[in-house]
Amino acid sequence: MLDSLQGFVHELRTAGLPVSMTENLDAMRAVEHIDIAEREVFREVLGSTLVKNHRHRRAFDTVFDVYFSLWASNPEDELAATARGELSGGGATGDISPEEIAQMLIDALLNMDRDALQRLAAMAVSKFAGIEPGRPVGGTYYLYRTLRQLDLNALGARMMSQAAPFEGDPLKERFQSEEYERRLRDLREIIETEIRRRLVADRGVEAMARTLRKPLPEDVDFMHASRDEMVSLQRVIVPLTRTLAARLAQRRRRRHRGQLDFRRTVRASLSYGGVPAEPKFRHPHPSKPEIMVVADVSGSVASFARFTLQFVYAMASQFSKVRSWVFIDGIDEITRFFDESDDVLEAVQRVNSEADVVWVDGHSDYGHALEIFHDRHLNEVTPKTSIIILGDARNNYHASGSWVLEALGKRAKHVYWLNPEPIGYWDTGDSVIGDYANFCDGVYECRNLRQLQSFVTTVAEG
Amino acid sequence: MADRFGTVDQVIEDLRKVDYLADASIASVVYLADRLEKPILVEGPAGVGKTELAKAIATTTNSRLIRLQCYEGLDEAKALYEWNYKKQLLRIQADRENETEWSDMEMDIFSEQFLLERPLLEAIRSQEPVVLLIDEVDRVEIETEALLLEVLSDFQVSIPELGTIQGTQRPIVLLTSNNTRELSEALKRRCLYLHIDYPDIEREKAIVKVRVPEIEEELAEQIAQVVSSIRELDLKKAPSISETIDWARTLLFLGRSSVSAETIGDTLNVLLKYQSDIAKAEKEFTPNPDAKPWGSIAKRKD
């Protein structure tokens, strides 16, 4: 037991979770107090001692499943099951048609009979997934194959049609469909677990954990985030900005002491018999920076731009004013979308559909976009303004227009450039970031939340 | 070691008796905190019953609840102890004629009777069983967090003039945080971590029934369904459990026996506190003849 616990902790650390020595010891002490056979209690106990950040919980759950849940039952049975599965769903399950499985699944789902679902999921996986032993995969493809055959949406529709009539009560219908949706989600999870269980039996715990290892939300690369990862990023962005805003507000307040506050000092001295033992100071009100964001939204970097805009606007309270533009080869101011709606996500969607950013052909032309920006808005740039430009500086071999940055830099407080590409790719091919960098106060690599966060801290502190 | 709870299941049972419905994860962590004598750091959205949990534990273990509400600017004098300066001054002045030696005087004015207990010290020195609740610990500055560390790991307080005061018994300690900032590693390391999320329909329904006993079974179920449905929307602030309970009371007060789309529209402001959220939810729940049946599952992404 101790060995597998150590292996488990090691895997958590490799996945990027900060598990300290003390926490490790705590977990070992904790395990003595409980019955390990109770998986859920065991999971909570390890979770509460080892993982102190809710964002990391998912990573923890994956590793836990691989290490402890999946070999809960006798591994030899598992192997046998896998072996049977290989015979292309042969044996006992061979003569059941997909239609029959679907019907049985519906019955089990309507009664939410977990045991039956478990059995049926195992059957479906043997039949449809076509698992090939020894392949180093995480099972996503097998899951996809199984689900395509089962067609959960159709199952859901059939369940709805079998349910009691709603007599035109849309509310009831809604609840019913949400309830079935939850059950289908459970079924999906059961199937996924079943597939993983077989893979673990096939290739062993450590190999499987290695395959399933995924970056933590704060380390996900913006440019290559999968849809699921994007969703999990969306989920952490709001709490993260709140955290950051609170910290900045606090730091701004506490950074300098202001002038001596005579009245309060005298008041405080009364409790020391008139001796001004405790001097009081006025707190200064440092000005908040003004932000102009200019973002490239061409295909390759669009998700990065969207994300950063969302981040900046979620923190708008930390800046005295935020204005923003998006461009491809034309440029359009989008501040209005954010002013009109107090829902940042909705505004970002409107930017996607309504902003006018194409001038000629819809390939990035930084030079042209910057030139227009210069002509229209140079006078609005003040010494309080920080300009942030987002983009990979891949200019399709157009003129770079870097003189605009020079002109802006003379008027603005700072000009920063955020580049979502890894530093190694800069100035290769049509990237002209080096050209722009000459006129920027800073060019930052910004590939994940962690880097974005540290950049925003720099700017907001002015 | 107190061993207030025998098993994990007993935690659930005991808390249930005082109207707190704990799920498996809450119960496991509470049980473990009792066994390992470690504090629990409770995080989660506002209004899911973090503070309630502490109150429930206090009631069920017959302990006194000592609460330290954190806020920005909280310092040692408010959290740990303070010398009763005015009393010390009186003591010195009263002694002027006797011309006591300064060293005697010093011994005297820095003794127990001039010490003002603040919540942390009070919890440590208490003879009867206590539950210590450090509420919204994320509101204090990161530097102030440090003064909690000694209390949390060794359950003692060092006072320079008096020496170290050791706790007489180990109380259950809960820290709550609304996650407005990341707590320091040092603090997290000393605690067990518990994240409480919004409950599922079953549990929420049970909670409504416990907290609003006169409610009908069917209405409670509908309430839980509507609230869970609203939480699925992308909102600024999802309704909390306390808001669900408020809503249940409102409906009861209005004499509604079932929830209709109209009722929802009229009373949404009890559940949601942002205008944009209310508008969004209203749009969602107004019957729309064009909507395809089964819309929500068709939208599902696989």
- Tens of pLDDT along chain B (302 residues) come to 457 888 888 999 999 999 898 888 999 999 999 988 899 999 988 888 899 999 999 999 999 999 999 988 888 888 888 888 888 888 888 877 777 777 888 878 888 888 888 898 888 888 888 999 999 998 887 777 888 888 888 888 888 888 888 888 888 899 999 877 778 888 999 999 999 989 988 899 999 998 888 888 888 988 998 898 888 887 878 899 989 999 999 998 888 888 887 888 888 888 888 888 888 888 877 765 454 444 444 344 33
Asked if pLDDT for residue A92 goes beyond 60, the answer is: no
Using an 8 Å Cβ cutoff, are B169 and B128 in contact?
Answer: no
Are the beta carbons of B293 and A22 separated by less than 8 Å?
A: no
- Chain A residue numbers with beta carbons less than 8 Å from the beta carbon of B192 are 26, 48-49
Please compute the mean of the pLDDT values over residues A397-414 and round it to a whole number. 86
CATH number at residue B182: 3.40.50.300
Q: Do B180 and A171 touch (CB under 8 A)?
A: no
User: Residue B40: inside a domain, yes or no?
Assistant: yes
Considering the domain architecture, whether residues B142 and B256 belong to the same structural domain is answered as no
What's the rounded mean pLDDT across residues A9-17? Answer: 87
What fold is seen in the domain A235-255+287-460? Rossmann fold (3.40.50)
Q: Which residues of A touch B291 (CB under 8 A)?
A: 170
In Å, what is the CA distance from A69 to each residue of A36, A74, A131? 11, 12, 20
Partners of residue A170 in chain B, C-beta under 8 Å = 261, 287-288, 291
Residue A45 contacts B where some CB pair is shorter than 8 Å: yes
- Quick check: is B243 in a domain? yes
Average pLDDT on A217-237 reads 76
B151 and B244 fall within a common domain:
no
- Put simply, the answer to whether A44 touches B302 (Cβ < 8 Å) is no
Q: Kindly report the average pLDDT of chain A as a whole number.
A: 79
Q: For B26, which residue in chain A has the nearest alpha carbon?
A: A44
Report the pLDDT value the prediction gives residue B40, as an integer from 0 to 100: 94
| Cβ within 8 Å, pair B25-A44 | yes
User: How far does B17 lie from chain A, in Å, by closest CA?
Assistant: 21
Scanning the structure block, which residue is given the tokens 């940055």? A405
Pairing assessment for the beta strands B156-159 and B163-166 based on DSSP bridges? antiparallel
Do B207 and B155 lie in a common domain?
Answer: no
Strand duo B40-43 + B172-177: pairing: parallel
In a domain, B207, yes or no: yes
CB-CB under 8 Å, B301 with A227: yes
- Residue at a domain's end among B195, B217, B232: B195
ipTM: 0.82
Least CA distance to A155: which residue of chain B?
B297
**CB contacts, 8 Å: A343 with chain B:** 236, 276
Q: Is residue B295 part of a domain?
A: no
**Are B212 and B189 in a shared domain?**
no
Which residue's entry shows tokens 């650390």? A13
In the predicted structure, residue A99 carries a pLDDT above the cut 70: yes
| Percentages (nearest 5) of helix, strand, coil residues in chain A | 65, 10, 30
**CB distance B70 to B174 below 8 Å:** no
| Domain-located, residue B122 | no
Residue B261 and residue B228 share a domain:
yes
**B257 and B232 both lie in a single domain:** yes
For residue B44, tell me if it sits in a domain. yes
CA B221 to chain centre: 26
pLDDT exceeds 50 at position A454: yes
Q: Which of residues 204-243 of A touch B (CB under 8 A)?
A: 227, 239, 242-243
Phi, psi of B191 (to 5 degrees): -115, 160
* Domains held by chain B: number: 2
Q: What is the largest CA-CA distance in chain B?
A: 94
Strand order in the sheet with A321-327: A331-333, A321-327, A290-296, A385-390, A414-419, A442-445
Same domain as B185, residue B226: no
pLDDT at position A365 is 85
Predicted pLDDT of residue A164: 67
Which residue in B29, B287, B294 is closest to A48 by CB distance?
B29
Confidence of residue A306 (pLDDT cuts 50, 70, 90): confident
- Alpha-carbon gap, residue A413 to A321, rounded angstroms: 14
Q: What's the pLDDT score for residue A284?
A: 67
Q: Is the overall model pTM greater than 0.80, yes or no?
A: no
Among A150, A142, A145, A148, smallest CA distance to A197 is for A142
Q: Does A99 touch chain B (CB under 8 A)?
A: no
CA dihedral A362, A364, A366, A371 (to 10 degrees): 0
Interface size, chain A vs chain B, as Cβ–Cβ contacts under 8 Å: 126
**Whether the Cβ atoms of residue A130 and residue A145 lie closer than 8 Å to each other:** yes
Same domain, B220 and B155: no
Q: Assess whether B271 and B132 both reside in one domain.
A: no
Residues of chain A with pLDDT > 90: what percent? 3
If phi > 0 it is left, if psi is from -120 to 50 it is alpha, else beta; for residue B12 that is alpha
Q: How confident is the model at residue A330 (pLDDT cuts 50, 70, 90)?
A: confident
| Whether B220 and B267 share a structural domain | yes
- Same domain for B220 and B273? yes
Residue A407: pLDDT above 80? Answer: yes
Highest mean pLDDT among A67-71, A93-97, A217-221, B70-74: B70-74
pLDDT of residue A260: 84
> For chain A, which residues make up each domain, given as ranges?
2-69, 84-214, 235-255+287-460, 259-284
Q: From the list A44, A152, A343, which residue is nearest B24 (CB)?
A: A44
Give the structural domain span for B250: 201-283
Structure confidence by residue, pLDDT tens digits, A63-78: 888 888 665 554 444 4
Report chain A residues whose CB lies below 8 A from the CB of B229.
174-175, 178
Is B302 domain-assigned? no
Beta carbons of B189 and A45 less than 8 Å apart: no
Q: Check if A274 contacts B (Cβ < 8 Å).
A: no
- Of B173, B195, B217, which residue is a domain's last? B195
Sign of the C-alpha dihedral computed for residues A174, A179, A182 and A184 taken in this order? negative
C-alpha of A412 from chain center: 33
Q: Is A293 exposed, middle or buried (0-12, 13-18, 19+ CB in 10 A)?
A: buried
Q: Chain A, 337-356: which have a CB under 8 Å from a chain B CB?
A: 341-343, 345
Q: Could you tell me if B162 and B213 lie in one domain?
A: no
Residue B231 pairs with which residues in a beta bridge? none
**pLDDT at residue A79, rounded to an integer:** 46
Contact B188 A52 (CB under 8 A): yes
Amino acid identity for residue A225 in this structure: A
